[in-house]
Amino acid sequence: MKKNTSLFIGIILFVSLLCSCAATSSVMVKVIKPADISVSGQIKKLGIVDRSHPDKSSKTLNVIEGIFSGENMYQDKVTANEAMAGVITELAKTERFTIYQIQGVNLTNSSSNSFSEPLNWEVVKELCAKNNLDALVVLEIFDTNKNISWSTENQSIVKNGITQNQIMHVANMRTEVVTGWRIYDPINQIVLDQWRISDSKFSSAKGISTFDAESALPQYSNVVSELARNNGQKYALRIAPVAMMVNRYFYTGGDPRLQDAQALINAQNYKEAVKVWEDVFRTAEKPKIQGRAAHNIAVAYEIDDQLDKAIEWAQKAIGLGSVVSKNYVQMLQQRKIDDAKAKEQLESVEEEK
My answer on whether 137 and 174 are in the same domain is: yes
My answer on whether 21 and 93 are in the same domain is: no
pLDDT of residue 350: 56
pLDDT, tens only, 258-280? 999 999 999 999 999 999 999 99
Point out the domain boundary residue: 182, 210, 240. 240
Question: Per the domain annotation, does 150 fall within a domain?
Answer: yes
pLDDT of residue 74: 57
d(CA 230, CA 342) in angstroms, rounded, equals 22
pLDDT of residue 182: 98
Number of domains in the chain: 2
Q: Supply φ then ψ for residue 39, to 5 degrees.
A: -110, 140
Point out the domain boundary residue: 220, 240, 260. 240
pLDDT, tens only, 15-38? 444 444 568 999 999 999 999 999
Question: Per the domain annotation, does 85 fall within a domain?
Answer: yes
pLDDT of residue 117: 94
Q: What distances in angstroms separate CA 35 from CA 10, 339, 343, one per listed residue?
A: 22, 11, 11
Point out the domain boundary residue: 205, 240, 275. 240
Helix segments in the chain, DSSP class H: 2-21, 56-69, 75-91, 121-130, 210-215, 220-239, 256-266, 270-283, 287-303, 307-319, 324-352
For the chain, which ranges sit under pLDDT 70?
A: 1-22, 56-76, 348-353
d(CA 261, CA 269) in angstroms, rounded, equals 9
My answer on whether 228 and 117 are in the same domain is: yes
* Residue 134 identity (one-letter amino acid): D
**End-to-end Cα distance, the chain:** 34
pLDDT of residue 54: 85
pLDDT of residue 351: 58
The CATH number of the domain where 270 resides is what? 1.25.40.10
